[in-house]
Amino acid sequence: MRKIVYILFALLGVGGGLQSCDNGETYAEQREKERDAISAFLNRDVVIRLSDGEELIHVGKINTISEGEFYAQDSTTNLERNEYVVFENTGVYMQIVRKGAGEKMKNGQQKRIICRYTEFNILRDSVQTTNNSAYWQTNPDIMDVTDTYGTFTASFNTSVNGGGAMYQYYGSKAVPAGWLVPLTYINIGRQINADEEIAKVRLIVPHSQGHSDASSNVYPCFYEITYQEMRN
């Protein structure tokens, strides 16, 4: 069901495998390991490849910018410089690849949003889950999202084909908080014209903003995600 994925991740000096308090590590030690893993991820030219050698995602060496710099350049990240803005209050890093067709969500709006994604476990140096495969083509992850004065709440919809990959893998309707961060800055719509594309972002999500497994095992994930409004 899942494609085997190999990672070209040059000279990454972090340990593989999930760590938990059961092996004697304290939470503080786990947090330190997570910070070291994110730092290494930022500073190395990461290429994620399929088993046949085809490049899946070229992450590259990341240049971080502050929130102040991000807002000063109209809430955009420069792709040529491979910029990611870091949000100090959450520790989430975000690159806006495309702001997307349509409009930003407004106060009081509710939307059903289709997400296609790849999830890379930074500690394990491997793709952990993805719905970018033939198996999940007709059953993507769908979020039911509400905007309340700029605060977004969401849950995974399971009424359509029993839910997508995130729900099937982790068994929770809760959407990782990190997935909602881009909604303040991107448009949520559908591709109508040939020159339009739906929103796409890349994220580094620490355990505190991730799903329950990441939170309980203290590991960060890299995501590439598209956001598309679902037809009524």
Domain-wise residue ranges, the chain: 63-229
Q: What is the pLDDT of residues 56-85, one digit of tens each?
A: 999 999 999 999 999 999 999 999 999 999
**Domain spanning 63-229, CATH class:** alpha beta
Q: Alpha-carbon Rg of the chain, whole angstroms? A: 17
CB neighbour class for 51 (10 Å; exposed up to 12, middle 13-18, buried from 19): exposed
Residue 103 gets which letter from DSSP?
Answer: B
Predicted local confidence at residue 9, as pLDDT: 32
Q: What is the pLDDT of residues 141-185, one digit of tens each?
A: 999 999 999 999 999 999 988 999 999 999 999 999 999 999 999
